[in-house]
Amino acid sequence: MSFKHLPLLAAGEIIATLNLNGEQSARAADLAAKVVHRAWTRRPADRRGQGYPEFAAAVPACSWLTMFEVAALLDLGRTCEASRLMEASRIVHGQSR
């Protein structure tokens, strides 16, 4: 479980809003970290010299929070809401799948 890159106050709001317990929060944080690690393994050639800690630190706080909330929603079985949140994030950030 790693909350290292999550802004704690905002993560706390998500935890409170979704009424997550400690285990659910830990699983959501782990999944967010796994997503970032997976992105690191697939980084473009020009960023291959960058280590994981540097890469993870460069991920914007809002992205960490979005991944954490999506992971929490998935853990709660709320897949439709998680999908809508992911789609909204793609639209806001101007990225495609």
Distances (CA, A) of 32 to 7, 19, 22, 49, 64: 13, 18, 15, 22, 7
Residue 22 phi, psi (nearest 5): -60, -40
Residue 2's pLDDT is 64
Residue 7's pLDDT is 87
Place of tokens 């949140």: 85
Task: State CA 16 to chain mean position distance.
Answer: 17
Cα-trace Rg, the chain: 14
pLDDT in tens, the chain (97 residues): 467 788 889 999 999 999 999 999 999 999 999 999 999 999 888 878 888 999 899 899 999 999 999 999 999 999 999 999 999 998 988 765 4
Residue 83's pLDDT is 96
Residue 95's pLDDT is 67
Residue 50's pLDDT is 85
Residue 6's pLDDT is 85
pTM of this prediction?
A: 0.87
